[in-house]
Amino acid sequence: MSNNFARYADLSPEFELEYVKKAYKNRTPISPLHAGDTLPAFHINKKNIIATSDILKSVQGLQPVTQLIDRPLVLAFHSIHWNGYGNRLLKELNDIYADIRVMGGQLLLVTTDEKQYFDQATAALQLPFATIWDQHNVIAGKAGLHSATDPIWDRISGVNEDVPVPAIYVLTPSLKIVYSAVDLWLEKSIEKRDLLSAVYEASHQRSHGIAI
């Protein structure tokens, strides 16, 4: 065998394929919030609203989310870059949206995608609920679902963008998390009974003046 033969592992770094994404050496792992935690406050900017409904109807300029909610809020994170998982999530949310409202809650979808791309990808679904673009993954970061140095593409096949992991929370008006469902590996469906029960209980406690 020729002595000029070199294994790929022996090649200098400059010969590595440029498009191969590399893991971060200084990794800050994601640390999702869970039930019992409080989500740090965030603002909603009118220019980032994709679909106006429920809590977004009165938004003017930049407003704290705590000024917009007066009942339990189902906060669901989404990305079209989750491929089939993202579409399935939207269909499941669509199926229970009316039930969430009956139980006394509201739904806000937080997506990684700008309006034009979100609308193109979801036009056939005719989604009725409030949706906002999470520019720079700010809200997902506050929830511990996104870290620039712990990218989802480093562990989930088929995901190639810098997006958060999926999660659904039920929040009280003070942003306390009373229900959480974080899906680190994009393999779960919505636990509809548990989610709706959490909305109902939070709404019932609020209506009876119980601090939550």
Query: What structural domains does the chain harbor?
Result: 37-206 (3.40.30.10)
Please state the pTM of the whole predicted model: 0.86
Q: How confident is the model at residue 26 (pLDDT cuts 50, 70, 90)?
A: confident
Say if residue 153 is exposed, middle or buried (CB neighbours under 10 Å; 0-12, 13-18, 19+): middle
- For the beta sheet containing 177-182, the strands, ordered from the edge strand earlier in sequence to the opposite edge, are 49-51, 130-133, 106-111, 73-78, 167-171, 177-182
Instruction: Report the percentage of the chain scoring pLDDT > 90.
Output: 77
Please check the confidence at residue 5 and state whether its pLDDT lies above 60. no
Mean pLDDT over 5-34 rounds to 60
Q: How confident is the model at residue 205 (pLDDT cuts 50, 70, 90)?
A: confident
Helix (H, G, I), strand (E, B) or coil at 140: helix
pLDDT 10s digits, 115-136: 999 999 999 999 999 999 999 9
Please check the confidence at residue 147 and state whether its pLDDT lies above 90. yes
Report the chain's mean pLDDT, rounded to a whole number: 88
Residue 40, phi then psi, degrees to nearest 5: -60, 145
